[in-house]
Every structure is written in structure tokens, then in C-alpha cells.
Amino acid sequence: MPAVVLALLQVIHPINLFLVTLGVGAGIVVGALPGLTATMAIALLVPFTFGMNVVHALVLLGGMYCGAIYGGSYSAILINTPGTPAAIATTFDGFTLAKKGHAYRAIVVATIASVVGGLIGVFFLLFLSPPLARASLRFGPPEFFWLTVFGLTIIATISPKSTVKGLIGGAVGLLIGTIGIAPIEGTIRFSFGTLALQNGISLIPALIGLFCLPEILDMIASRNEEHSAIPYRSQRHMLRRVWRLMRRKPWLLIRSGLIGTGIGIIPGAGANIAGMVSYNEAVRVSSEPEKFGKGNLDGITASEASNNAGVAGSLVPLLTLGIPGAPPAAVLLGALLLKGFRPGAELFTVHATVTYTFMFSLIVANLVLLPLGLMLGKGASKVVAGLPVSLLAPLVFFLSVIGAFAIQNNIADVYVMFALGLVGYAGRKLGFQPGPIVLGLILGVMCEQGLVQSILIGRAAGMPVAIFFTRPISLVLIGLTLFSAGWPMISRMRRRAAAPSHDSDSTISSGGSHA
Amino acid sequence: MRMQRMPRIAALIIAGAVMVLPMALFAAGGAEQGSFPTRAINYVIPFDAGGQSDITAQYQREGLERELGVDVVIRHQAGAGGALAWSALARGRADGYTIAGNNIPHIVIQPLVRDNAGYRTEDLRPVYLFQTTPIGLAVAANSPFNTLAELIDHARANPGRVTVSGSGTHSGHHLAILQLQYLSGTEFTYVPASGAAPSVTNFLGGHTQAILANSDDLVQHRESMKILAIGTEARFHALPEVPTFMEQGYDFTAGIDRGVTVPANTPEDIVRRLERAFDAVTRDPAFVSQMEVMGFEMQYLGADAFAEYIARKQREISTVLRELGEL
Amino acid sequence: MRNDRLTALVLIAVSIFALLESNRYGPLSRLFPRVVAVALGVLSLVLLVQGIVRARPGYRPKSVGLPSASGAEPSVTGSAGDTRGMLFSLLVMVAWTLLLEPVGFWAASVLAFSTLVLILRTPGKTVVWKNILGGAILVTMFVLVFRIALRVPLPEGLLW
């Protein structure tokens, strides 16, 4: 019997179905807690899979990966804090909706988008892995440099109120990213002699601090026992209503899925960036860019479809070449090696049944996500809505502390979280949003690495500057960067030429459909 | 039967919800006396999950639990080239319940190249050295160079033109390239990546001409590369056709040694207890064969031999770094 | 706008400091921080100039910017908000953070959690003891899950 058929039979075996469901469920819970990332979820689970056979282990871990990336959207929507870095772009529109009582609606959108995006990613993983993986190797240091520069142009999109302040935020993020050990010469930078800063500012504590603490403080300052901070309003047939809206924009879903898959495949880029890039493109293509950031369902769709597509994307180079596309995939690689499996051609020949079972199980994982996600999402939004501020604020702070600590078991990270939280609060009062700062922090490390590696390679080849401008993929990325940076001007001109249309399908104005 | 672990977590969570807590409170406080160990041991890996140190530890865990009769919990505390975990260990309780992976040369280099790495090599007591990952030098399968001599000649004629990918600054790979440059009188351009995986990516994508890689990566990717030399003393069992650097006239070895360490003032009997456990686990034939398949070389150094080895490495490395002007 | 000018000045100082500090680093370690510092300086200068221009009498903004959606709408409730309560809570949070290690994760959290419940209560409406009990149960549950199931070594300190 061919491996594919065997794999199909395996994947519908009750024990595998159970393990996928368990993995997805546990992943959602872990991913939803701020600070507990998909990487950590998988790393915590690996010891428990030690005695399992390889299929069971992979099926469970794969489900966990999908669930955790999706679960990050809950805290993004409900408390304005991405549960995993992949969900940053989900906060932009998701939390606004939650404050108006539409948290569940936002979660339904996130769920559908995640399912569709995830399935798109698996499609490419199943059918196009080898050529895509080989193509991903074309991404060298110069391409990485330009990819991150392109990524920085997103700042303009996510800070509509003041581009200057957005860019300043980004620069501050980049500068924070340089604290600690330099990538090339090993110099310790901006540590002020303290041990804690020598290790640099880790992304997760910074993320929690910048997003979460200001939210807690605002919640406290403007608390009102009559209303919940995050009210819950229910609607009948939410799934059908939302799907009817989303169905009208198939290209948004497909495009976001493609972007997520593509960025996921590039080793080292990962889901963190995928959501942001996809959000950026959604804003750019939209006929009403001004509605993003104010509770536009399209923003959530773009972010979530893309980051879940990135899950399967990051497995493409892992399974074909043994190179993980993202940190969670690196832990999966460890699990594979532990089982005595060497990624590469063997996985598709000798062990084809195992490999295909794993891939099929990702399809199942994405399908299971729909009912499980809706159920857990409804529960989560009801719980958050039911808590008075006097309980919710301390609880969220407690979770922030535990999340910041758990990422490296390092108490200094809790202090960093708090300090950056105060910075974030002051910044917010002055009109600086956390998004650009965190984007700078994420991209800065990659950007510098790409820059100095390119210089070293370029110098050796006798073309230290030319290396940045002569490679085909680099040129495409430069083009994209210029286009993206110049877009605000182009769109302004376009808008002046054409009168604005009024079509508020997917935006919920306050006073909308309450039930 | 190991499958029962999953329901066990679920059960634990439920148990937490039902509030068995006060009991746990008391249990945690008592029971310090008696023979070591009486409770779970934390095994800290100073590098990321999924890396070679982690995989080795995951393999050892079952055996350690059998030998010591308590749970062994693997945790990850990656950061600052291992210094984050080692400084935490040096400051922590010296009771043997927290042990950490010990990677040479990292554990030796960090305090040498930084004013304050948060620990001194002397603050830590080596317990057992169980494995070495030899470092090898390779070029792409379609590269014009077929031997180390050809590559070195080319590099000598074109100083700085040959790019070599590797993982990290002040790391095992960095040290290897420095030694090779020093002994051969050549100059390469070392392109450090943030880890083994991105380094391999840069090399496989053709962005660098050569790579210094750990033996397990060499074994994994051997179809797409020509391995020119390996940093062992004798031929390496997993790649017997590859000559050593020493054979080819460069008198140095390169590798990453992995062991386990505790704070310096840990009581002697506890150190010996851990040493015995690690020795038994390391000599387990099943463990040995797993390690060798993955491309590791076994070592069986007990606490005293390991301490001597570290002292020797410390002298060697500081000499090399000083002569090369890195200090 | 005055805030903007102040912020700009502070950030310019930061960027100058970063530039000076980076002089001590090697050529490849200082390149990136320098580029970023210069960018930060220039952008802050733009912000400063913007602030000065807009502060001039007779300046009318071209477009009326809506308040940014995510986040800062401090006075939604009509009142100026409870700044005092917020400051008290902030103090408790600082103490909470600092006590984690010496006192222990669980004890510090239960203590600080309860204090926050007291500060944030609405007299006559909140059943304080219920919230404190609920908080303590939640904290204990999480601490147990992390310590036992997830094996995260939360600091134990003096009182667990």
C-alpha cells in the first residue's frame, strides 16, 4: 500500500485524533497566556513524548504548535497583549472590538482566519516542500537585511496618527535590541555594567511590559463597577454571520495565507513577522485604510490567517532540509532527532508514512481548531467579561509576572518587564504606541545580523557595498521597500483623485449590532 | 505505557483546581535530611531547546531517574553564550538539586573575554564529562577545493577572501578558526551566525564558501558537502574517511565537550553521588549507540579528571586568545 | 505639544549618548547602533520642530486626527479617572515585583493580589472577602500548575 494511503488510515485512528485534539487544546491554553510561547509549549511537552512512538509524538506536538499560535489571539483580543509574538498585529483591531463588547466576534474571525490560513500552509507543505525549501536557501544575509528593512516600513501603516512618532518608536525598539552582546565581535553594548543587561532585553518580557502593563493601569484608572472593562455581548449565529462577511473577501484570506506560508518558509523569519507583513498588505490593498486599527475585522483576518499559515511554512525547510524555519520548529527538530529521525530525503522515502501522517495530522489540527477554538474563545471572553476590574487587573498583572519569569526562569526578566511597562505607559500618554517599538525590537536583531554578515561576506568578495544591491531577491525586496515606504503618498494622491466610497461591511461602528 | 503521562498532566491540573495545595505547601518545606537525593533534581541546559545539549540531556533523563531514584527535570535557560545559566548556578544553592550542562570551551571563554560574566570558571565544580562533538571544516559539494591543503593554499594566496560560516563569537567554532589561522598563517573571513542552524543555512545556501560545523551537523548534511578535516585526535568513528587536522599538519583539536557541573561548594558526597549516576548512564550501551549514531564521541571523565581537563583547557585557550590578540 | 518637545529633547539626549557610547565598540559592533542613534536623533529633531511650529499661535492643524484606537482613551467614563487609585496600585505592583524573590512567588502574589483587591474595591458593591479568596485560589492554582505540571522553578523565598 502506498505511504499516503497508510498515512491517511493512521491519521484517522482514534488515538491520533485524540492526540491532535489534546495538542490543539493544550496549545490554545498555553498560547493564550501572555509570555508562554509556542516554543515553550512544545519544549515543555517534549519530555512527555519521550516514551511515545514517533507518530503519536509528532501528532501531539504538531497540534500543540498550531494551537499555541492560534491561542495567542485570545489575549491579543481580550487584554491587548499578544499571547505569543505572532499575534501582535491582532491587537490592533481585536482589542478595540473587545472594548466595545465584540470580543467573541473578533475571536470568531480569528478562528476562521486561522483555520483557512493554516490549511493553505499545509497545502504548500504537502505538495511543494522540496522546491520551496531549496528556494528558501537563496535567502542569505543581504536578503535578510532587506527583508527587515521592508518590515520596518510597516511602522508607517501601524501608526496612522503620527508617522514621526511611530518611526521614533521603531528606532527606540531597534536601539533596545542592541543592548547586550553584539552579534559579531562579542562586544557588550549599553549594559551600564549590569549583569542583567549584558544578556540583552528579551523579546517576551518587553512585549508583555509594553503591551500589558499600560493596559492594566488604564483599566484601573478608568474603572467603573457598572460596566465590565471588556464587556461580552452575544449574538445568535455568530459563526454564520461572520463567515458571510469573510466570504466576500476571499483574496484577503488567500493572500494572507500565502504571505504567512512564504515568510514561514524563510528560515529565521517566522510567524512573528508574518502577521505584521500581512496586516500591512491588507491595509495597503484596502479601499478604506483609515478604518484599520479601529476594529476592522479585516485586520484580524490578515494577521491570524498569516501567522497560522506560517506554522506549516516553518516546517517546510525543517522536514526537507533539517533546517527549522522558526524557533518552535527547532524544538520539533530536536524531538525528531530524539526519535532517531534525520530530516531530509529519508523522511520522504524510508519514513514516508510517518511524515505524511504528520502532515495530514496538521490538516486535522486546523479543522479541530474551529469547534475547539470557538468553544474556548467563547469561554475566555465570558470569563474576562465576568471579572470586575478589582479582580481582572491583579490577575492580568500576575499572569504578566509569571509569563515574564517563565520564559528563561530569570527574575531579572520580571524587572525588565516592569520597567518597560512604565516606559510603555508614559509612551502611550505621549502618543507612542507599543507596536512599532516591539517591531523594532524583533527586526533589529535580525537586521543587524544580516547587515554585518553581508558586510563580512561582501568584503571578502571585494564588493562590500555592491553585495546589497546586486542580488535578484535583494532587488525585489528593495523595490517592495520603496513601494511600501512611498505608499502613503501614492494612496493620498489616489484618494484625492477618487472620491471615498462608503462601504462599511466589515467595520463595526459603535452602536452597531448589539443584542 | 509511557502514554499515561499525558493524562497525568491533566490529572495534575485538575488536582490543582480541586485544591490539594496546603499539603503541597508542607511537603515542600520538610524532608531535607537523609541521603541525597530525596526530591526532584533540576537539570539546567544553558542553551536552547532542540539543540545538541538538550537532546543529549533528554536521552540521559530516564537513566538518571533510574540511577538516582528521583525525577530529573530538564529546564532551559539560554542566554549570553551560556553565561546566564552558569551565573545563576554559581549564585544558587549548593545542594546538588540544581545541576547544569557544562560546555567547553564556552564555560571557559566567557569569563576570559568579559569583564564580568557573572561567574568565574572556579565558581563551578565539574562533575562528569560525557561527550564530545568534534568540529569539522567543510566546503560545498561542488566546491573546487578537494583537500584542506588546497583550501589553505588558496586562502594564503588570497587573504581574507575565503568566507567560513560558524556559530557565534567567542565560541568553539570561533576558537577553531582562530587556531587554524594561527597555525597555518592564513586569514579567513569568519562569518558568525547566531546558532548552528542559521550557520548551516548560510553555508547550504552558498552564501559562505566553507563552514565549521559540529559533527552531528556534518553527519546530517554530508551529502551536500565535502568534509576536509575534523578536529579529533584520531579518525572520527562516524566519518572515518575524513582526515584530522593533526594528520594534515595542524596540531590542534577542535570540539565542544559536554558535561555537567554544580556550584563549587557543593558537598563532596553529593558530587560523588552525581558522578556515579552520570557514569552509569554514560556507560549504558543503548545510550552509547544512540549518541554515536547522531555523530557524537563518548567521554568518560569523572569529577577529578574533568577538573584537570578544564584547568588545562583554560590555560590553552587563554594562551591562544592572548597570542591572537583577542584578549 | 509641550510634552512632545520635552520628549524630543530627552530622545535627542539618548541618541547623543548612544553615539558617544558606541565609540568604544569595535567597527562592526558600533555600525548598527550608530545608524539607529542617528535615525533616532533626526526623527526626534523633526518631532521637536513639529512641536515648535504647532505651538505657535495661529497654527491650525490640517486634519483633525482621531484619537488612536488601540489604547489611550483615559476619560471614556466621563470622570478624569482614578489617578490616585492607579498610583497606589502601581506602588503595590512595584512591591509585588520586588518581593517575588525574597518572600517567594506564591506568598508575595497572594499578599499583593489581596492588597490590590482592597484598593480597587467599590465600597458597598464589591464583596471583598470573596474576591480575595477567589484571587488567592487563582494564584495558588497557577503557582501549582507552573511548579508541578510545567516544572517552572518559581522563586520560593522565605514563605514559598
Instruction: Supply the CATH number for residue B188's domain.
Output: 3.40.190.10
Claim to verify: residue B50 and residue B115 sit in the same structural domain = yes
Q: What does the alpha-carbon distance between residue B171 and residue B159 come to, in Å, rounded to a whole number?
A: 23
Residues 68-97 of B with CB under 8 A from C: 73, 75
C144, C151, C152 ranked by CB distance to B21: nearest? C144
Is residue B251 in some structural domain?
A: no
pLDDT band of residue C58 (cuts 50, 70, 90) is low
* DSSP one-letter code for A289: G
Q: What range does the domain containing C107 cover?
A: 83-149
Contact in structure between A113 and A246 (CB atoms under 8 Å)? yes
Is residue C72 in some structural domain?
A: no
Rounded (to 5) percent helix, strand, coil in chain A: 75, 0, 25
Report the domain count for chain B: 2
Task: Tell me what the mean pLDDT of segment B178-184 comes to.
Answer: 91
**Per-residue pLDDT, A455:** 94
**Per-residue pLDDT, A123:** 95
3-class secondary structure, C124: coil
Claim to verify: residue C89 and residue C132 sit in the same structural domain = yes
Q: What does the alpha-carbon distance between residue B250 and residue B184 come to, in Å, rounded to a whole number?
A: 7
CA distance C110 to chain B (A): 13
Q: What is the pLDDT of residues B138-147, one digit of tens each?
A: 999 999 999 9
Claim to verify: residue C41 and residue C97 sit in the same structural domain = no
Is residue C67 in some structural domain?
A: no
Return the domain boundaries, chain A.
3-496
Q: What range does the domain containing B176 cover?
A: 134-230
Claim to verify: residue B160 and residue B204 sit in the same structural domain = yes
Residues of C in contact with A430 (CB under 8 A): 3-4, 7
Nearest Cα to Cα of residue A240 among A112, A368, A117: A112
* DSSP one-letter code for B161: -
Claim to verify: residue B80 and residue B143 sit in the same structural domain = no
Which residues have CB under 8 Å from C17's CB, separation 6+? none
Residue A55 touches partner B, C-beta closer than 8 Å: no
Q: Do B16 and C156 touch (CB under 8 A)?
A: no
Residue C28 touches partner B, C-beta closer than 8 Å: no
Residues 37-56 of B with CB under 8 A from A: 48-51, 54-55
Q: What does the alpha-carbon distance between residue A217 and residue A208 come to, in Å, rounded to a whole number?
A: 13
Claim to verify: residue B167 and residue B127 sit in the same structural domain = no
Write the CA distances from A474 to A371, A469, A477, integer angstroms. Answer: 42, 7, 5
DSSP per position, A28-51:
HHHHHSTT--HHHHHHHHGGGGTT
Q: What does the alpha-carbon distance between residue A357 and residue A12 come to, in Å, rounded to a whole number?
A: 9
By percentage, how much of chain A surpasses pLDDT 90?
Answer: 45
Which residues have CB under 8 Å from A213's CB, separation 6+? A397, A400, A417, A418, A420, A421, A422, A424, A425
Residues of B in contact with C148 (CB under 8 A): 12, 16, 24
Nearest chain C residue to A178 by CA: give it: C33
Claim to verify: residue B129 and residue B262 sit in the same structural domain = yes
Length of chain C: 160
**Per-residue pLDDT, A272:** 80
Is residue C27 in some structural domain?
A: yes
Is residue C102 in some structural domain?
A: yes
Claim to verify: residue B166 and residue B209 sit in the same structural domain = yes
Is residue C29 in some structural domain?
A: yes
Contact in structure between B185 and B260 (CB atoms under 8 Å)? no
Is residue C45 in some structural domain?
A: yes
CA dihedral A137, A143, A149, A153 (to 10 degrees): -70
Contact in structure between A141 and B207 (CB atoms under 8 Å)? yes
Residue C149 touches partner B, C-beta closer than 8 Å: yes
**Per-residue pLDDT, B6:** 41
Q: What is the pLDDT of residues B298-326, one digit of tens each?
A: 999 999 999 999 999 999 888 888 887 77
Is residue B193 in some structural domain?
A: yes
Claim to verify: residue C49 and residue C92 sit in the same structural domain = no
Q: What is the pLDDT of residues B17-35, one digit of tens each?
A: 443 343 343 344 434 445 8
Is residue B59 in some structural domain?
A: yes
Write the CA distances from B302 to A272, B52, B90, B125, B260, integer angstroms. Answer: 44, 21, 20, 11, 10
Determine the number of helices (DSSP H) and then strands (DSSP E) in chain C: 5, 0
Residue B18 touches partner C, C-beta closer than 8 Å: no
Q: Does residue C72 register a pLDDT over 60?
A: no
**Per-residue pLDDT, A21:** 94
Is residue B279 in some structural domain?
A: yes
Question: Residue C51 is which amino acid?
Answer: G
Is residue B152 in some structural domain?
A: yes
Is residue B221 in some structural domain?
A: yes
Q: What is the pLDDT of residues B101-133, one digit of tens each?
A: 999 899 998 888 887 788 888 899 999 999 999
Find the farthest-apart pair of alpha carbons in chain C and give their distance in angstroms, rounded. Answer: 65
Claim to verify: residue B51 and residue B114 sit in the same structural domain = yes
Is residue B1 in some structural domain?
A: no
pLDDT band of residue C146 (cuts 50, 70, 90) is confident
Q: What does the alpha-carbon distance between residue A57 and residue A19 come to, in Å, rounded to a whole number?
A: 9
**Per-residue pLDDT, B2:** 43
Grid look-up 484571587 returns: C135
Q: Which of C40, C55, C70 is the last residue of a domain?
A: C55
Is residue C123 in some structural domain?
A: yes
Q: Which helix (H) or strand (E) holds B191?
A: strand B189-193
Q: Do A48 and B58 touch (CB under 8 A)?
A: no
Is residue B19 in some structural domain?
A: no
Report the domain count for chain C: 2
Claim to verify: residue C92 and residue C48 sit in the same structural domain = no
Q: Do A457 and B114 touch (CB under 8 A)?
A: no
Q: What does the alpha-carbon distance between residue B141 and residue B153 come to, in Å, rounded to a whole number?
A: 19
Q: Does residue B5 register a pLDDT over 80?
A: no
Where are the extended beta strands (E) located within B210-309? 210-214, 225-230, 255-263, 297-301
What residue ranges of chain A have pLDDT lower than 70? 1, 224-227, 498-515
Residue B116 touches partner A, C-beta closer than 8 Å: yes
Q: Which helix (H) or strand (E) holds A453?
A: helix A434-460
Which pairing describes strands B225-230 and B163-167: parallel, antiparallel, or unpaired?
A: unpaired
